[in-house]
Amino acid sequence: MSAKRTLPAEPARSVAAPARRAWRYPPLNALIGGGLLLVLIGMALLGLVWTPYEPLRLDLLARFQAPSAAHWLGTDEFGRDALSRMMMGARTSLWISLLSVSFAVVAGTLIGMLAGYLRGWTDRVLMMLNDALLAFPGILMALGIMAIIGASQYGIVLALGIAYTPSVVRVVRGSVLSLRELEFVEASRVIGNSEFYTMLRHIAPNCLAPLCVLATSMFGWALLSESALSFLGLGVPPPAATWGSMLAASRPYIASAAWLGIFPGLFISLALLAINLFGDALRDRLDPRMRK
């Protein structure tokens, strides 16, 4: 039997297309999510250099003004311009959420991979501590940490970061545990790759999908928790503005000056929507199996 006869292999399952392909229209969720995100980030960046009014300037004659041509989003109980404060708050809120989620993802991934890959005693001790942390509600733990390190912008980042780390650890460890039994991980070891290389090259990238989903939903929790902490007086200290603290401050006036609550709430929701859509699109883009 000639060797050549084996050569015509079975046809590929996918369409045999050339490697290069025309640029395709990005999916809808990437467009909407990315667009919204760009607008919000643009607003935050603009707020750094220019705002319609001085966000901290009090104008007691112009208290509780409804949205108008002069004050697009109205003014608050001290006569400060709500739009200016929204722009100032955009930077603080997005920045705090981004930093605390990044902190949780980086720390949680490291610990989770360590526990999942080494197993044995390392795993047991790490997971015991982790489960102990998980037993506290995130906000309670953040409160405790804030009480120790004091209220400041980076204090919140640390507190929220630590509060969200345990769930990342759980998710990453779970993926690692199922991945390390797969044959391609064993294949990597048979090749002679070090454990560290295997972890970095084969296991970490394959944890990405659940991590992406978790990180984007955590971004939303972080935004809300920050506002909860502000509400409890442990957030970014006044008079600095965050969306959460603006929402919290509007509570007594919800009947008489509803716009003070509506707009921060709306922006928080929009940010959540944007980040979730964008996160989904990112996950699909990063997964070669999703590419058609």
Partner 1 sequence: MTVPTALLSVQHLKIRAGVQGQLAVDDLSFTMAPGEIVALVGESGSGKTMAARAAIGLLPAPMQVCGGRIEFKGVALDSRDAPAMRRVRGAQIGMVFQEPMVSLNPSLTIGRQMSEALKLHTDLDAAEIRRRCLQMLQRIGIKDAERCLASYPHQFSGGMRQRIMLASVMLLRPALLIADEPTTALDCLAQLDVIELMLELTREQGTAILFISHDLSLVARYAHKVVVMRNGKAVEQGGIQDILLAPRADYTRQLLEALPSRGVLAPLPPANGPLLEVRGVCIEHPGPRSFWGKSLPKRVVHGVDLSIAPGETLALVGGSGSGKTTLGRAVVGLVNPCAGAIRFKGVDILKAANRVHRLQCQMIFQDPYSSLDPRMKIGQILAEPLRHEPGMSPAQRRQRVAETLVDVGLAEHFVERFAHQLSGGQRQRVAIGRALVRRPQLVIADEPISALDMTIQKQILELFERLQKQYGFACLFISHDLAAVERIAHRVAVMNQGEVVEIGDRDAIFDTPQHPYTQQLLAAASPLERLAGGGYRIRTR
Q: What's the closest the beta carbon of residue 187 comes to partner 1, in angstroms?
A: 6
Residue choice 92, 100, 188, 250 for contact with partner 1 (CB under 8 A): 188
Q: Buried b / exposed e across 192-224, counting CB within 10 Å, b at 16+?
A: ebeeeebbeebbbebbbbebbebbbbbbbbbbb
The single residue among 193, 237, 240, 265 that binds partner 1, judged by CB under 8 A, is: 193
Among 183, 196, 255, 256, binds partner 1 (CB under 8 A): 183
CB 135: neighbour CB atoms within 10 A?
A: 9
Q: Binding string to partner 1 for residues 269 to 288, with x set by CB under 8 A, is what?
A: ------------------xx
Question: Stretches 32-40, 71-79, 179-187, 225-233: which one binds partner 1 (CB under 8 A)?
Answer: 179-187
Per DSSP, what are the bridge partners of residue 75?
A: 81
What does R_g of the chain's alpha carbons equal in angstroms?
Answer: 24
Contact call for residue 148 and partner 1 (CB under 8 A): no
- Nearest by Cα to 56 from 240, 259, 237: 240
61 lies in the binding site for partner 1 (CB under 8 A): no
For 179, the token pair is 């991945």
182/254 with CB nearer partner 1: 182
> How many residues of this chain interact with partner 1, rule: CB under 8 A?
30
Instruction: Read off the tokens for 139.
Output: 């906000």
Cβ neighbours, 10 Å, residue 116: 25
Here's the x/- map for partner 1, 19-58, by CB under 8 A: it reads as x---------------------------------------
The closest of 259, 239, 261, 258 to 249, measured between CA atoms, is 261
Tell me which of 52, 205, 233, 238 binds partner 1, using CB under 8 A. 205
